[in-house]
Amino acid sequence: MNRVVRGLVSVTVAGALAAGSAVAATQILHDRRAEAVAAQAAPLAPEVRTDRVRNALAGLADDGVYVAPDARDLLDKRGERAVARAIAEAETPIKVIVWTKTNKAGASYFDQRQQVEAGLTEAGGRGVYLIWQGPENGDVDTYGAYGFVDVAPYEDFTGDPARTLPRLVAQVDAEVRWYERNSDDSDYWGGTGGGIAAGLLIGSGVLLAVALLYGLLMVAVGRRLPGRWLW
Amino acid sequence: MLPGSGPDTGSDGAVFAGTIDEIVAALDQDPVLVEEVMGNGQTEALQAALLEKAEASQLPVYVVLTKAPAGLTTQNTAEELLTLLHARSGKDGVWLVSTADVGHVAMQVYGDLDPAVDDEFTLLRNASTNAQGEAFKAIRSECGDCQIHPALEIGVTLDVLAHGIPQEWGTQPLTDAQVDSYTSSLWTAPDTQTAHYERAEMPTAGLYAVVATVTALTVAVVAYRLVQAIGGKRHPRLRGSAKPAPPTLAERNTAVVDARREAAAAYRALEKALGRAGNRVAWERRDIATACLERAESRIGADDLLEVVGGLVLARTGSYALAHATGQYRCCYVDPRHGAATKEAPLGGGVQVPVCAACAAALAGKRPLAPLLSAGRFGSLAPYYERSSVWSRTGFGSLGGDWWQEVPR
Ligand SMILES: [Zn+2]
């Protein structure tokens, strides 16, 4: 075999292996992420929602406020009507849940809140939800789209919720910010081009490390690999 | 609705027994009260399951799973609520109460429920604990990190009560099927909590590109070089570090046999010379020869190459002492098997050592030496003078002095 043919064979074999492993690597990346996304969504699926969350979602449908039967000591019916009026006056769709904090109602507290958010998102549109569990205890967040509400439960959930909640609801229009997520902004690597550039840089680093390792091994054993880069 | 005029209701009209009186009133209707706040996500199913078990009990039972009413004063709201409920209702029987903030189950037995036993509470608790242990094992074998709901403890206790108060210590009456039924989602909850910041998302186009590029680049370069290696000269040595290959075990064994033969011949020659020496040789010289002979004897048959070579050099040193009136035998420092040293040459750190002509030439030409090797603890080989032994200290006599005296007999 002459030198040129030999070199071409090596290039072809190396190229095929490189393409194959790149495809396999992206496939593995895709599958593992898909698994993680599915696992994350599993406790939020409608069929595993707790009765407590289903009742809350149903109760929010008419006037946007729901008080669980066990939370009447937190907010009475007059307070509930005041919250409903504030919601009706706001421009942003707002949902207010008042319930007792519990992790004995079929899901961790975090999962209950995520189930609520998933249920609200499912119904369509975007808005803000508040969950009052007691003084300095609860959540405020957006549903249906990425956003940020400048209301902190541990600071702003104070006093009698019959007064505090209508006041916070009235602030939402001014305190909410919505983020438009376009695909390039959310891509840390800056799209395909940026990814290839970063990949070449990282790949060079990896090759450098491989070369270093090979060098150390070569010195330790006192022998090098047969053949050479160019025959 | 005015406060105190009836039970609380939620936005959707669902009723909640929020006071001691309201809970007692609810228990008058049904001995089992499960509120949504403790309902494990399926309040109605849990209420029905516990009610069915309560009805199968041979003794009166009262079960409450709820949020602790306002105004309780102790940390253990379950225990406190149980005491208050019993005091208000005055009903004897087995009471089982758990509250959302405590999460454990309070149990009490009121009245002499079973005349045959003295300590109903302890016997019941013991059987229930044993049965719960079985249920936990069944749950763990199916779901490693499932959370266990307090309702399980109540359900198991009611199952025990279907057989009355247990009469014996250390047993539990549940069947395997009953134990297995507690693995259902009615009594457990999957532990799915994920942290806020770990929100999993599908990879972006950029991330795919990074992973593909890194993989392709690395694999391409490494694979190309490996394919180029196929058919190449086998593991060429690095230039400059042209060490002779270390001897194989077989080669080393052959070396021991050869050295032994040589040493035995030198020993016999010394023995003969010493026998013939008589008075014409000075007694000092005869003493040296005798000392060398004694020390060589045990070494000739040794398995260790260094010992055999030591025997060889000792024998030659003794013979030299008899044959010459002054001076002593100096072998090649690099390997005594090379024979007598004829020159001095700098080795390693510039120390002058006696060497044979071949070694002197090699050192002058900066060619690699072939020193006598000594095997380390893990079989690695190194020049004997780089290791610590009587031979490296004396250089097999090449460094001079009455070195044989340092060699053990
Ligand atoms: Zn030599």
- pLDDT string in tens for chain B (409-residue length): 344 456 788 877 788 998 999 999 999 999 999 999 999 999 999 999 999 999 999 899 999 999 999 888 898 999 999 999 999 999 999 999 999 988 889 999 998 888 888 888 999 999 999 999 999 999 999 888 888 999 999 999 999 999 988 888 888 889 999 999 999 989 998 766 555 546 778 888 899 999 999 999 999 999 999 888 886 655 555 554 445 556 666 777 788 888 999 999 999 999 999 888 877 888 889 999 999 999 999 898 888 899 999 999 999 999 999 999 889 999 999 999 999 999 988 887 678 899 999 998 888 888 888 899 888 766 678 889 888 889 998 999 988 889 999 998 8
**Cβ-based burial of A161 (10 A; exposed 0-12, middle 13-18, buried ≥19):** buried
Q: Report yes or no: A72 at the B interface, CB cutoff 8 Å.
A: yes
Closest residue by Cα to residue A82 from A172, A157, A170, A175 = A170
- Asked if B178 and B305 sit in the same domain, the reply is no
- Asked if B180 and B232 sit in the same domain, the reply is no
User: Distance (Å, rounded) from C-alpha B342 to C-alpha A230?
Assistant: 49
- Asked if B214 and B241 sit in the same domain, the reply is yes
DSSP state letter for B245: P
User: Distance (Å, rounded) from C-alpha B367 to C-alpha A222?
Assistant: 17
- Contacts A44 to B, Cβ<8 Å: none
- Asked if B34 and B89 sit in the same domain, the reply is yes
- Contacts B207 to A, Cβ<8 Å: 29, 187-189, 195
Contact B308, B316 (CB under 8 A): no
A68 and B220 within 8 Å at the Cβ level: the answer is no
A25 and B211 within 8 Å at the Cβ level: the answer is yes
Give residue B333 CA to ligand 1 midpoint distance, Å: 7
- Asked if B177 and B52 sit in the same domain, the reply is yes
The SS3 of residue A139 is: strand
Closest residue by Cα to residue B337 from B294, B306, B366 = B306
pLDDT at B98: 96
Q: Report yes or no: A210 at the B interface, CB cutoff 8 Å.
A: yes
Identify the CATH class of A48-179.
alpha beta
E strands, A34-167, where? 65-67, 94-98, 127-134, 137-143, 147-149
Which of B127, B158, B190 is a domain's end point? B190
Task: Tell me whether residue B46 is in a domain.
Answer: yes
- Asked if B148 and B228 sit in the same domain, the reply is no
Percent composition of chain B: helix, strand, coil (DSSP 3-state, to 5) = 50, 10, 40
Closest Cβ–Cβ partner in A14, A102, A187 for B100: A102
Q: Report yes or no: A77 at the B interface, CB cutoff 8 Å.
A: yes
Q: How many CA atoms lie within 13 A of A209 on its CB side?
A: 7
Ranges of residues in chain A with a pLDDT under 50 are none
pLDDT at A182: 57
- A224 to chain B, closest Cα gap in Å: 6
User: Distance (Å, rounded) from C-alpha A125 to C-alpha A147?
Assistant: 13
- Asked if B118 and B209 sit in the same domain, the reply is no
User: Distance (Å, rounded) from C-alpha A126 to C-alpha B286?
Assistant: 112
- Contacts A73 to B, Cβ<8 Å: 8, 18, 70
Provide the β-strand partners of residue B344.
B354
- Asked if B47 and B185 sit in the same domain, the reply is yes
- Asked if B113 and B262 sit in the same domain, the reply is no
Helix (H) or strand (E) holding B381: strand B381-383
- Asked if B161 and B244 sit in the same domain, the reply is no
Give residue B366 CA to ligand 1 midpoint distance, Å: 14
- By C-alpha distance, the chain B residue nearest A103 is B100
Maximum CA pair distance of chain A? 94
pLDDT at A91: 94
Contact A195, B206 (CB under 8 A): yes
DSSP state letter for B340: B
DSSP state letter for B307: H
Domain membership of residue B143 as a residue range: 8-190
pLDDT at A170: 93
pLDDT at A185: 59
- B43 to chain A, closest Cα gap in Å: 7
Instruction: Count residue pairs from A and B with Cβ separation < 8 A.
Output: 272
Task: Tell me whether residue B14 is in a domain.
Answer: yes
pLDDT digits (tens, 9 = 90+) for A133-155: 988 899 999 998 888 898 888 88
State the total domains in chain B. Answer: 2
Domain locations along chain A: 10-39+191-221, 48-179
pLDDT at B1: 38
Query: Which alpha helices (H) appear in B114-244, and where do they start and end?
Result: 120-142, 150-161, 176-181, 205-229
- Please tell me the pTM assigned to this model: 0.60
Give residue B356 CA to ligand 1 midpoint distance, Å: 4
For B62-116, the three-class secondary structure string (H helix, E strand, C coil) is EEEEECCCCCCCCCCHHHHHHHHHHHHHCCCEEEEEEECCCCCEEEEEECCCCCC
* CATH number of domain containing B100: 3.10.310
Cα→Cα distances A224→A90, A98, A215, A230, B380, Å: 75, 72, 9, 15, 21
- Asked if B238 and B360 sit in the same domain, the reply is yes
Contact B219, A22 (CB under 8 A): yes
- Asked if B141 and B271 sit in the same domain, the reply is no
Task: Tell me whether residue B255 is in a domain.
Answer: yes
The SS3 of residue A60 is: helix
Contact B23, B90 (CB under 8 A): no
Residues with CB under 5 A from ligand 1 (ion): B 332, 334, 338, 356, 359
Task: Tell me whether residue B3 is in a domain.
Answer: no
Cα→Cα distances B19→B43, B50, B68, B71, B313, Å: 19, 22, 9, 9, 106
The SS3 of residue A94 is: strand
Q: Report yes or no: A231 at the B interface, CB cutoff 8 Å.
A: yes
